[in-house]
């Protein structure tokens, strides 16, 4: 258990430093990246490119192993089917992301910057997650 907690802490820390270095913590830059028909700032596409490349290498490593180092099994989410629930949720998320320029990782890591707007957004985001738990929705 201690090893798993330590892995969680290290992974979270690397993730948070990566967000800070990448520019993803800055809502103004994120909205500039999303403004493809305006003053488009393409730099954040490189965040996704770097992350997906390294993530794919990590997954290839994981597939070569029967189990992870500190747990019994790999917890791979389902890759199919594409459902209405998946699309509806992703659309709502995209609207919220576009409105403010914050997605869940930067909203949490950004709390360390001590800015009131990020704290308000993160609090509303948690409320949104709590509201979801109160709904009787189908799996997936």
Partner 1 sequence: MAMQFLASFVGGCLIGLAATVLLIGNGRVAGISGILGGLVARDGARLWINGSFVVGLLLGPPVYRLASGAWPAASVTASLPLLIIGGLLVGFGTRLGSGCTSGHGVVGLARLSPRSIAAVITFMVAAVATVFLMRVAGLS
| Site membership for partner 1, residue 136 (CB under 8 A) | no
**For residue 90, how far is the Cα from the chain centroid?**
12
- The interface with partner 1 within residues 4-23 (CB under 8 A) comprises 4-23
Residues numbered 98-127 forming contacts with partner 1, rule: CB under 8 A: 98-105, 107-113, 115, 117-118, 120-127
Query: What is d(CA 133, CA 116) in angstroms, rounded to the nearest whole number?
Result: 26
* Residue 97 engages partner 1 in binding (rule: CB under 8 A): yes
Q: From the CB of 29, what's the least distance to partner 1, in Å?
A: 8
Q: Does 130 bind partner 1 (CB under 8 A)?
A: yes
Q: Is residue 66 part of the contact set for partner 1 (CB under 8 A)?
A: no
84 vs 42: CA distance, rounded Å: 30
Q: How far apart are CA 105 and CA 113, in angstroms?
A: 13
């Amino acid at each position: 258990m201690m090893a798993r907690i330590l892995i969680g802490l290290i992974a979270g820390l690397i993730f948070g430093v990566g967000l800070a270095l990448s520019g993803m913590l800055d809502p103004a830059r994120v909205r500039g990246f999303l403004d493809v028909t305006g003053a488009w700032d393409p730099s954040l596409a490189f965040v996704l490119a770097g992350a997906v490349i390294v993530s794919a290498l990590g997954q290839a490593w994981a597939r070569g192993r029967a189990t992870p180092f500190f747990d019994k099994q790999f917890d791979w989410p389902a890759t199919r089917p594409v459902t209405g629930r998946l699309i509806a949720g992703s659309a709502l998320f995209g609207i919220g992301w576009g409105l403010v320029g914050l997605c869940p990782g930067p909203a949490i890591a950004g709390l360390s910057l001590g800015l009131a707007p990020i704290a308000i957004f993160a609090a509303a985001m948690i409320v949104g997650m709590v509201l979801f738990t109160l709904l009787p929705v189908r799996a997936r």
